[in-house]
Structure 1
Amino acid sequence: MSVFASIVREGSIAEAAAVHGISPAMAGKHLKALEKEIGTSLLHRTTRRQALTHAGESYYQRCLSILESVGQAATEARATEQEPTGLLRVTAPVSFGAEALTPLLPDFLAAYPRVRVDLSLEDRSVNLTKEAYDVAIRIGQPPTSDVVALPLKPYRLILCAAPSYLARRGTPLSPAALASHDCLAFRYAPSSSWHNTQSDIVPLDLSTGRLRIDNGHALRIAAINGAGVIMQPVTLLQRDIEDGRLVQLFPDLIMPERPMYVLYPSDRKTDPKVTLFATFIREQFA
C-alpha cells in the first residue's frame, strides 16, 4: 500500500522506488502483487504517463486513511515504551491543589525522575490549549470537545463557622436561617447552591454576606477569625473542625457534591508524561 501510494503521489514508479530505497523493478513488483491480491488494475500505465483507474481512485483514498492509522498506531506504541521526560504543566483548583494534590507529587516525581512538574493553582477556568497546559484538574462539567476527561471522586462541600461567630450571632438551626447570617461568598461559585435533606431539596443562598473572596484559603482564614459562615471542601476544613477552630453546621444533611475531572488535550494522548500523570491522578482520587 505504501509503495502504491508513493507511486501515485510521486507520479512514477522510479520516483516511488527512490522514496522507499528499492529498485524500480521491485516497486513494480509491489504494485503488481497488490493488483493481483485485489483482483483489479489500479493504474493505467503507458510509456509516457500513468493515471488511476476508477477502482484505483477509491482504493488510493482508503490507502491514505489506513496508512495514517498505521503510522499513528506505531507512534502510540513507541510512546508507551518511551520513558516520560520533559516539563509537565499542570493546573488545579487552589484548595484541592494545596491540600490534596501537592502531597502526592513527590511520589509521581520519584517514579518518573526525568519529568519536571510546573503546578499552577487557580480557581478560574483555564483554556488548556491557549494557555499551554498539559493537564488540568477541574471542578464542574468538562468541555465537550478537544479534551480527554477522566472522572474523579466528586468534590464534597461542608458548611462551617467559628465558635466566636456562633457565640456572637447564634447557631443557625436550619439552612433557611442563613439568610440572616453573614455568609462568606466564593467568587467562582454560583450565588445559590443546593443541598438535600433526605426528603426534599432546599435552596441554600450564600450570597447574603458582605465579604466575597476568590481564594478558598483566604475564606478559611476569614471564617476562623469569625467573619461568617463558609462553605468549602472537606479537604480544606476538616483539620480546623478537628482542632476546634471551626464548627460544622448541619452535619446530618447531605451537602452539595460537584463533579471533578482530570483533563488533557486530545492531541496529547500519545505523550507518555501526560497520560501517565492523568492515570496517576485518577487512581489516587477514584
Structure 2
Amino acid sequence: MIVRVIAILSVALVSGAFAAETVDPKAEYYRCTEAATTPKMDSKEAIAACKGPAETGAPGAQYALAVLLLNTGKDEVVPEATALLEKAAASGHAAAAFELARLLDRTKDPALRERTAQLLRASACGDYPPALRALKTAGGTKEQLHCPARADADFSGQWIGKLHWSIVSKPNNTEFEMKVVINGAAVSVFTQGEKDFVEVMPGKWRMTQLEQTAILTALNEGSDLDGVWIEAWDIHLLRISPDEAVINFKRAVDNRDMPASLSWKTFTVVAQGRARLVSK
C-alpha cells in the first residue's frame, strides 16, 4: 500500500511540475484581458484569471486586476490595488497612471497633490483618452504639458539585424544579417555578402513612421530571360527598447511576363529577427 501511495504521489508531482512548465503566459494574459473586458463576467472569475499574469509583471494585467479589485467596493483591497497600479504606472501604463491619480485624489491628502498631478500628466502624455478629456475639460491642452519626447521614436542610426527565414520557397534555416542606416528621411539598406554588406536598391527606399514603428519600402524592376520582373521589399522595425527592435523582412516578386499557369510567376519570402542600434 505504501509503495502504491508513493507511486501515485510521484505521478502527481511530476504531472504538476509538467503542467507548471507548460503554462503559456500569452494565453494566460489573453484570458485575463477577456475576463476583464467581458460584460457581466463574474468578478471572482475575472480576478482569478488576472492573478497569474499580474504576478508575472504584465502591466495590462496589473491594471485590470487593480480595477477589478476596486470594483468590488471593499476597503481591504485598496492597498493591493494601489500597489498594482503603482507597478503598472511605473512601467509607463497610461491607464494605470490615470486610475492611480483618481485613487490618490479621493484621499484628499494635500501632500499627494503633486504626485496626483504628475500621474495625470504622465497619463495625458501617454495619450490615454480619459486623461486627455479631463485635460480638455480643465481648459488645458497636451501641448501645454510639454511632454518629453520619446527616445525610442527616433530611429536615426545604424541598425544590424539578425534574421531567420519563416516563409521561403525552399526550406532554409540559415540565419543572415541585414544592415539598415537611417538619417532623417534618407534610408539605406544592405544585405549580407560573402565578405561585407552590399547595398540594395540605393535611392529607392522610403520610410513611414508612427511613434515606435517604422516601415521601410522599396520597389524595383528589371528584366531577365523571363521578361520584366518587379520586386517589392518591406522592412518593419518595431521598437522594444532604445537600442533594440523586432525586424520583419518581406520580399515579393512578380515576373510580369510569365504565364499565370506557372506557380513561380510570383513568390514571397519572409524573415524575422531582432535588430540592434549599433551607432547613432
For the criterion TM > 0.5, the same-fold answer is no
TM range (shorter): under 0.3
From the CA coordinates, give the structure whose radius of gyration is larger: 1
Higher relative contact order (CA 8 A, sep 6+): 1
- What's the TM-score, normalizing by structure 1? 0.19
- Larger strand share, 1 or 2: 2
